[in-house]
Amino acid sequence: MITLYQFEPALGLPNASPFCMKVENYLRMAKLPYQAPLVSLFDFGKAPKGKMPYIDDDGKVVADSSFIIEYLKQTHGDPLDGWLSPVQRAQALALQRLMEEDLYWAVVHTRWIDPVGWELTREAFFGKLPVPLKWVVAPLARRGMGKQLHGHGMGRHSAQEIAAIGARDITALADFLDDKPYFMGDAPCSLDAIAYAFLANLVWVPLESALKRHALQYPQLLAYCERMRERYYG
C-alpha cells in the first residue's frame, strides 16, 4: 500500500501545499490506492529531503513530488501519459517548470511575505499553537521562507514586480489551456495533476492577492478547477 505523507488540509483545500496536492491528484487520477496520514506542519522532520511530500510504498521511501510520480509510473504503470507526443511532453515539462520553479515562489511571496497574506497564513498554519509558542515559531518560519525566496531570487524583486511575474505565468497557463477541457487536450495527463494543484491553490484560497485577482479573470481556469474537482474529488 502506498502511504502519502503530506500536510493536513488548510485554507479550504485538500492541501495548501501545491506539491502535496499534486501527488494526491496524481494518485487519484492514476487510480492507485493510497492512505494519507496527516502530518502536522511542525512534524515533518522525517521527510527525507526536509520538504513535503514523500511516500512510502511498502518500505520504499521516495521524496519529491516529481521523483514520486516518476517512481509510480515505473512501478505501477503509466496510465496517464502514454499518449503524449514528444512535443507534448516537452510542452508539459516547460509548463511544469513554469508552475513549480516560478509561479510557486510568487505564491509563496503572497502567503508568507505580503502583510495581508501573512495574517491569513499565520492563522491557518500556526493559529492552533499555544501562546507564546506561536509568537516565536511563526516569525521564525516566516524568516526561513524569506531566506528561501531570497536564495531563489524571486525575493529580491519588489511586490509589484513579483505580482507581474506571476501574472505572466497565469496568463500563459490560461492561454495554453484556452477552451480545452484538459491541458493537453480531451484527456487528462499528469500535467493536470500539477496544474490543478497550483491553480486551486490560487483561485480557491481565501487570500485576496493580485495573483488571485489576475487568475479570476480567466473563466477557463475556474471551469478547469471545477472540472478536475468533480472528476477526481466529487
Ligand X SMILES: N[C@@H](CCC(=O)N[C@@H](CS)C(=O)NCC(=O)O)C(=O)O
The piece of 26-34, 64-72, 117-125, 221-229 that touches ligand X (CB under 6 A) is 64-72
Task: Tell me 11's DSSP state.
Answer: T
Between 166 and 218, whose beta carbon lies closer to ligand X?
166
Q: Which of 19, 118, 125, 232 binds ligand X (CB under 6 A)?
A: 19
- In the complex, the smallest distance separating the C-beta of residue 120 from ligand X, rounded to whole angstroms, is 16
The piece of 62-70, 81-89, 110-118, 127-135 that touches ligand X (CB under 6 A) is 62-70
Total binding residues for ligand X by CB under 6 A? 7
Between 19 and 118, whose beta carbon lies closer to ligand X?
19
Is 64:49 a contact under the CB 8 Å cutoff?
A: yes
192 is a site residue for ligand X (CB under 6 A): no
17 is a site residue for ligand X (CB under 6 A): yes
- Sequence letter at residue 75: T
* Largest separation between any pair of C-alpha atoms in the chain: 55
66 is a site residue for ligand X (CB under 6 A): yes
Is 211:169 a contact under the CB 8 Å cutoff?
A: no
Between 136 and 223, whose beta carbon lies closer to ligand X?
136
Classified as helix, coil or strand, 7 is strand
Closest of 99, 84, 93, 97 to residue 186, by C-alpha:
84
Per the DSSP assignment, residues forming a β-bridge with 185 are 182
Is 154:103 a contact under the CB 8 Å cutoff?
A: no
Point out which residues bind ligand X (CB under 6 A). 17, 19, 51-52, 64-66
